[in-house]
Structure 1
């Protein structure tokens, strides 16, 4: 695994720990937005939206499947200002997906998260800021 991926995973793990310590489902860490999602009272996923990295490079959606119980987690990222879908990231472990083309500065972002088993997808929620709003790039 290259060190950029490890750095993103480290950021996601740190942000997840922060969200759990605060007892909230959403957190903001190092410029990233984190959503922790539950199904039937059990934590099943953490999704991180990275609006940029320290060098101003690409944007990413990171998905972490916490339950590992035969399903996968799907995160669909939209430019909420224009309504266009930017990427879909699905995994049953840990995965980061680059958003291309980039979401323009000042635009709102909607990241919808789903629990997927076979052909069935259950909506878990949306990554929000700690104030309950959509993140802005």
Structure 2
């Protein structure tokens, strides 16, 4: 894989992740009422916990911003960026898991799954491909 191809894959991962976040929000209106109310309650709890503690809100924002910044660092082949990306990917996943389940309309599930697959592919390439040496070069 060339560096340009890797950078395009990283960019696609960021784009699909943003699209998944937007789809998660927009798709709420297409859910059946019982699922819509469960999702609304979970979202309200997450927002309330962030408002109750500025630390929790700061951590949430930092994790999301750190994830996207680590993607940018990967595209620039910054040293140690794969480790930062791994940390922020796992931390954001834990945050998402602790907040609430993802409740998506069927039409948006492929977008969410594509995001997961691309994140996994980028991680694999960072650690298991010949490109891994590019991140340790000084």
TM-score by length of 2: 0.27
- Structure number with the higher helix fraction is 2
Higher strand share: 1
Q: Which has the larger radius of gyration?
A: 2
